[in-house]
Amino acid sequence: SNFFALIPAAGSGSRMGNELPKQYLSLAGKPMIYHALRRLCGSDRLRGVIVVLAPDDSEWARHDWSEFSDKLVVIHCGGGTRAQSVLNGLEAVRRTSSIADADWVLVHDAARPCLSERQLDKLMDELADDEVGGLLAVPVADTLKRSDNSSRVERTESRESLWQAQTPQMFRYKLLVEALSMTGGTVMTDDAGAVEALGLHPKLVLSDARNLKVTYPQDMALAELILGNSD
Ligand code: C5P
Q: Write the CB contacts of 180 (distance below 8 Å, at least 6 apart in sequence).
A: 83, 84, 86, 87, 90, 188, 191, 194
Q: Is the pLDDT of residue 26 over 60?
A: yes
Phi, psi of 58 (to 5 degrees): -115, 0
Ligand 1 atom at shortest distance from the alpha carbon of 79 = 21
Output 218-221 pairs: Cβ under 8 A, ≥24 positions apart: 220/25, 220/27
Q: Distance from the CA of 156 to the center of ligand 1, in angstroms? A: 30
Q: Is the pLDDT of residue 185 over 80?
A: no
Q: Is the pLDDT of residue 68 over 90?
A: yes
Ligand 1 atom at shortest distance from the alpha carbon of 14 = 1
Q: Write the CB contacts of 141 (distance below 8 Å, at least 6 apart in sequence).
A: 159, 209
Pairwise CA distance, residues 15 & 57, whole Å: 19
DSSP β-bridge partners for residue 113:
none
Q: Is the pLDDT of residue 149 over 90?
A: no
Ligand 1 atom at shortest distance from the alpha carbon of 15 = 1
Identity at 61, one-letter amino acid code: A
Mean pLDDT across 174-200: 92
Task: Indicate which residue's Cα is closest to atom 4 of ligand 1.
Answer: 189
User: Lowest-confidence range among 37-41, 56-60, 133-137?
Assistant: 56-60
Q: Is the pLDDT of residue 14 over 60?
A: no
Q: Is the pLDDT of residue 33 over 70?
A: yes
% of residues, the chain, pLDDT over 70 = 97
Rounded to two decimals, what is the model's pTM?
0.95
Q: Distance from the CA of 13 to the center of ligand 1, in angstroms? A: 7
Mean pLDDT across 214-231: 91
Average pLDDT, the chain: 93
CA distances (Å), origin 50, targets 36, 84, 110, 125, 135:
12, 15, 12, 21, 18
Domains and CATH numbers, the chain: 3-134+166-229 (3.90.550.10)
Taking a C-beta distance cutoff of 8 angstroms, is the pair 99, 173 a contact?
yes
Q: Distance from the CA of 19 to the center of ligand 1, in angstroms? A: 15
pLDDT score recorded for residue 97: 72
Q: Distance from the CA of 6 to the center of ligand 1, in angstroms? A: 12
Ligand 1 atom at shortest distance from the alpha carbon of 80 = 21
Helix (H) or strand (E) holding 96: helix 82-96
Identify which of 12, 24, 25, 109 to mutate to test ligand 1's pocket (most ligand atoms within 8 A of the CB). Answer: 109
Q: Distance from the CA of 9 to the center of ligand 1, in angstroms? A: 6
- Of 115, 88, 120, whose CA–CA distance to 8 is shortest? 88
Q: Is the pLDDT of residue 105 over 90?
A: yes
